[in-house]
Amino acid sequence: MLPNLGAYWKSFAEKRGYMRNLLFSLFTGGMLLIGTSAWAAPLTLQACLERAREHNPGLKAAAWTPRIAEQDIRQTSAANYPRIDAQAGYTMQQAAQGAKIAGTQAETQQADYASVGLSATYTIYDFGRRNARQQMTMALADSSVQSFEARRTDVALQVIEAYFSILETRKLIAAAADEVAQVEEHRRVAQALFEEGAVTRNDVLQAEVRLSAAKQKLLTMKNRLENNWLQLNYLTDSQPGFRAELDEGVSLSSGAATPVDESDALSRRHDVLALRHGVEASDMEVRESKAAFYPELYTQAALNYVQNDKALEQTIMAATIGVKINLFDGFASTANTEKAVRNRSRNQDALRQAESQVHLEIDTSRNDVNVAGERIGVAESAIRQSEENLRINRERYRERVGTATEVLDAQTLVTQAKTDYYSALYDYQVSQARLKRAVGEL
């Protein structure tokens, strides 16, 4: 004889209503407590991007590279001006220098004397070596600026990924918490039916195992949320314990992914521009190294004073115009030229690889956007179907037509459908960000 299930369900409904009211009160109180420590307004994605732009530790360190490159330009520009040197000294000799003139010996210099010199040297022409060196440093400076901007774009993408990952994980936590509540409810139903003698203990044990699995999934999601917050706080240089409500309405989507002019994308990509400036610098390096085989024309003006009371003129002024050329340096100039040529070839190959990589990123990002958009529609339908499936299996179990396994499987399907939906929803946003980065618009 079956137990009186009508009385049981009436008692269970009353308990369930009480538990719902209790949970609602606890949830409301918890939200109020959280609200006191959170920001009054949601933390927007734009605010995170701006903070990362100004305070990211990696960007702060990388920002010094362009500043150092500015001084390299100043250093090479010094060749446009004459070099002025001054020197002074005091010489002590064992004996004064002398000379024999018509059989007579006479000292021509003091034994100890002071000397002072001032000279100015200027390179008149060096077959383009000086100009090539200056253009090389300017190209390297431009490359460092573009490299910094590329680094800033990468950080912006990381911030976007962390931001949407937090939003996604919060949704997954809600879905996992809902699954825990549903499995807990089913466990209580199975326990009550077992006590009535309507089902075996196997239903209760099965529900307890599923409940343990659901709680572990919830703990995993909470840990993932904490790690995502730590990542976002690091990127924005915030305190590790900082938490805030994020803007749920943020969106990067701009409709379906449309074809883009990839040549324009290459001209907007900072990493590609950095490599192009690097190739330009390599060309100048080759020019400079080849100019080392040509002579250098220079002029020099000098003023020298040597203390010598035996000389008629102790201060000598002179002007020189000359040419100098290296005749042999152990093949160092040849090796330097070959090194410059090979370095240029390496940079050219790196540029071609980067351009091919950009084409690949654009194609894959566009595919990801389109597929994620289709997944959203499929997942929305799956949620409705899984919830209806759960409702039917619950009714079947209550009527003792279905099994506990079918109810638990249906609950798992609901959670999986919600997980797939939230994953597709935020994958779509992140894919949009990656597409914007690929075309140089981030």
H, E, C per residue of the chain: CCCCHHHHHHHHHHHHHHHHHHHHHHHHHHHHHHHHHCCCCCECHHHHHHHHHHHCHHHHHHCHHHHHHHHHHHHHHHHHCCEEEEEEEEEECCCCCEEEECCEEEECCCCEEEEEEEEEEEEEECCCHHHHHHHHHHHHHHHHHHHHHHHHHHHHHHHHHHHHHHHHHHHHHHHHHHHHHHHHHHHHHHHHHHHHCCCCHHHHHHHHHHHHHHHHHHHHHHHHHHHHHHHHHHHCCCCCCCCCCECCCCCCCCCCCCCCCHHHHHHHCHHHHHHHHHHHHHHHHHHHHHHCCCCEEEEEEEEEEECCCCCCCCEEEEEEEEEECCCCCCCHHHHHHHHHHHHHHHHHHHHHHHHHHHHHHHHHHHHHHHHHHHHHHHHHHHHHHHHHHHHHHHHHHHCCCCCHHHHHHHHHHHHHHHHHHHHHHHHHHHHHHHHHHHCCCC
Sheet holding 296-306, edge to edge: 83-92, 112-125, 296-306, 315-324
In this prediction, residues 35-60 reach a mean pLDDT of 81
Q: What are 266-281's pLDDT values in tens digits? A: 999 999 999 999 999 9
User: What band does 84 get if pLDDT is binned at 50, 70 and 90?
Assistant: very high
For residue 296, what are the contacts with CB-CB under 8 A and spacing of at least 6?
A: 123, 125, 126, 127, 129, 323, 324, 325
Q: Tokens at residue 368, please? A: 């990801």
With 0-12 / 13-18 / 19 or more C-beta atoms within 10 angstroms meaning exposed / middle / buried, residue 387 is: middle
Q: What are 212-243's pLDDT values in tens digits? A: 999 999 999 999 999 999 999 999 999 999 99
For residue 202, what are the contacts with CB-CB under 8 A and spacing of at least 6?
A: 404
Angle of helix 45-55 relative to helix 201-235, nearest 10 degrees, comes to 50
User: What band does 285 get if pLDDT is binned at 50, 70 and 90?
Assistant: very high
| Percent of the chain's residues with pLDDT above 90 | 69
Instruction: Name residue 156's amino acid.
Output: A
Q: Residue 101's pLDDT is what?
A: 81
Residues linked to residue 122 through DSSP beta bridges, in sequence order:
299
pTM of the model: 0.81
Most distant CA pair in the chain, distance: 152
pLDDT at 261 over 60: yes
User: What band does 119 get if pLDDT is binned at 50, 70 and 90?
Assistant: very high
- Cα–Cα dist 219/48, whole Å: 27
Q: Residue 9's pLDDT is what?
A: 40
Give me the architecture of the 43-80+139-292+330-438 domain, per CATH.
Answer: Up-down Bundle (1.20)
pLDDT at 102 over 90: no
Query: Residue with structure tokens 């899984």?
Result: 386
Q: Residue 312's pLDDT is what?
A: 83
User: What band does 3 get if pLDDT is binned at 50, 70 and 90?
Assistant: very low
| Percent of the chain's residues with pLDDT above 70 | 89
- Cα–Cα dist 437/270, whole Å: 10
Q: Residue 254's pLDDT is what?
A: 58
Mean pLDDT score of the chain: 87
What is the rounded (10 degree) CA torsion for 234, 235, 239, 245?
A: -120
Domain coordinates in residue numbering, the chain: 1-37, 43-80+139-292+330-438
For residue 209, what are the contacts with CB-CB under 8 A and spacing of at least 6?
A: none
In this prediction, residues 17-35 reach a mean pLDDT of 44
- Cα–Cα dist 350/272, whole Å: 9
